[in-house]
Amino acid sequence: MRFVQTILALAFLALLAACQNDVTTPKPEPAILSEDDIGHSDQMIVMNHVGPRAQVHIAGRDEPLWFSSVRDGLVYLRSPEQTAKILAVYVNDIGVAQSWDEMGVGNWIDAETAFYVVGSDAKGGMGAPEFVPFSDEEKAQDFSSERGGEILGLGEITAEMVLAPLEHSEMQMPSMNGESDVSTMENMSPGGG
């Protein structure tokens, strides 16, 4: 009798474990950005950068990976080395931000539903061309009309778009006070201006 009880208990535990594997992890809510949050790719304080930012929630971590720019977040997502299970990705909504310099700590939208202006003259926190997210397609179109670029969904942004090397002339260094500096990376190189 004891043998049968043991077999039944083991079968029940195996069934319970199998059911646990089918349970999907609920999508985490966006985290609130704090002064202590460090960028995953640049190891710098995220709040010290201008422009839109990203947060990526992965399985096995309580806190998101923070990115100083949407471009950096997309590089992480599209990188061939990225193997973590992605639970959620959030980006700042430029359409409701106070300004390019002031995104707000709680201004987050689901990256999968955002409209991205790609190829505009906008530069992110590290001076690279930015992928500018909006929750409202009309606001994205207005931005695109003023600053150039095309509107794409997250699924249309390819690895080639975010992983391609940047020319020095495409980079604009942000100044230490958070305002964009007119100096380009090219001007900062030896012999440059």
Domain definitions of the chain by residue range: 25-188
Radius of gyration of the chain (CA): 21
Quick one: which of 108, 132, 114, 102 has its CA closest to 28?
Answer: 108
Q: Are 89 and 56 in contact (CB under 8 A)?
A: yes
CA dihedral 22, 25, 26, 28 (to 10 degrees): -170
The model's pTM: 0.75
pLDDT tens readout for residues 124-170:
877 889 999 999 999 999 999 999 999 999 999 999 999 887 764 45
Does domain 25-188 correspond to CATH entry 3.30.1490.20? no
Residue 106's CB is within 10 A of a number of other CB atoms, namely 10
Going by C-alpha positions, the residue among 94, 90, 129, 84 that lies closest to residue 112 is 90
- 3, 91, 10: which is closest to 53 by C-alpha? 91
Helix residue ranges, H only, 109-150? 137-147
Q: What is the mean pLDDT of the chain?
A: 81
Mean pLDDT of 61-86: 94
